[in-house]
Amino acid sequence: MNLKNFIQRNPVTCYFIATFSISWLGAFILVSPKLFSGQPIPKLDGLLMFPIMLIGPVTTSFTLTYLTEGKTGIRNFFSRMGKWKAPLKWYVVAFIIPLSLILITLFILQRFVSPVFKPNFFLLGFLFGIPAGFLEELGWTGFAYKKLRLKFSVFKSALILGIFWGLWHLPVIDFLGAASPHKQFLIPFFIAFIAILVSMRLLMMWIYSKTNSIVIVQFMHIISTGCLVTFGPFNITPGQETLWYAAYAIVLAISTLFIFKLSKTIMK
């Protein structure tokens, strides 16, 4: 069996292997001088790893689409990219869900736990969401989800994708949020972070199942990431940041299950 046949038989496995390899290798190359010299990785270097990691989903998506579907697949890919004229209500939903649930979580924590959880307002935070949402979804939604749906339901496909999406962030996880490094809270913070991404992926694929528009998924990804950066409390400890991420993960999961209950077609 040659490489092309293997990819055609195992497109999702190949996507995950290639995406993780390209992204993680790029991140490693950036910080390797510090690692080999035994120096700590500065916050700026940690943040710079992320735009380098974005190369992985994009290059893998287009390469595997061409290898598995040829030029027709590339044309179909851009056709789905062009479907931005989804009904306005879905853009409203994609905007309201992350924004409202993040603010609700923080207001509850501020009221009943500590004033330190008062929402921040770093408006430029939305700029962090634009490259992430636009480039990542060319891979996660544009290729991996499409192939997963050939074998699994919307729910199971989104669940699998959400877990791998969360794990993909591993090299930069300790540089995300305001309280880095997270020290002894790193593992629980990472678990909470993955839980958030799994629920958000389920919601994004629910909207995608209604619109078949990659653009609206990119939009929701941008809003989700942008709201986390914009409204996330700034002067907090690693433990406090882990708490609010965990609380948001719970609120998001409950809301997701409620939405799925109302929209039974998501299970098909």
Q: Does 81 score more than 90 pLDDT?
A: no
Short-list 133, 101, 109, 96, CA closest to 249? 101
Q: Does 265 score more than 70 pLDDT?
A: no
Calculate mean pLDDT across residues 58-82.
Answer: 88
Q: What pLDDT sits at residue 232? A: 95
Q: What pLDDT sits at residue 267? A: 46
Q: Does 260 score more than 90 pLDDT?
A: no
Q: What pLDDT sits at residue 1? A: 59
> CB within 8 A of 229, min separation 6: which ones?
122, 125, 126, 128, 129
Q: What pLDDT sits at residue 75? A: 87
Whole-model pTM: value is 0.94
Q: Does 123 score more than 70 pLDDT?
A: yes
pLDDT tens profile 164-207: 999 999 999 999 988 889 999 999 999 999 999 999 999 999 99
pLDDT tens profile 86-122: 788 999 999 999 999 999 999 999 999 999 999 999 9
What is the SS3 assignment for the chain? CCHHHHHHHCHHHHHHHHHHHHHHHHHHHHHHHHHHCCCCCCHHHHHHHHHHHCHHHHHHHHHHHHHHHHHHHHHHHHHHHCCCCCCHHHHHHHHHHHHHHHHHHHHHHHHHCCHHHCCCCCHHHHHHHHHHHHHHHHHHHHHHHHHHCCCCCHHHHHHHHHHHHHHHCHHHHHHCCCCCCCHHHHHHHHHHHHHHHHHHHHHHHHHHHHHCCHHHHHHHHHHHHHHHHHHCCCCCCHHHHHHHHHHHHHHHHHHHHHHHHHCHHHHC
The pLDDT-based confidence of 255 (bands split at 50, 70, 90) is very high
Per-range mean pLDDT, top range of 35-44, 73-82, 125-134: 125-134
Q: What pLDDT sits at residue 38? A: 84
Q: What pLDDT sits at residue 82? A: 64
User: Residue 173 in contact with residue 28, Cβ under 8 Å?
Assistant: no
Q: Does 46 score more than 90 pLDDT?
A: no
Calculate mean pLDDT across residues 74-90.
Answer: 79
Compute the mean pLDDT over every residue in the chain, rounded to the nearest whole number. 92
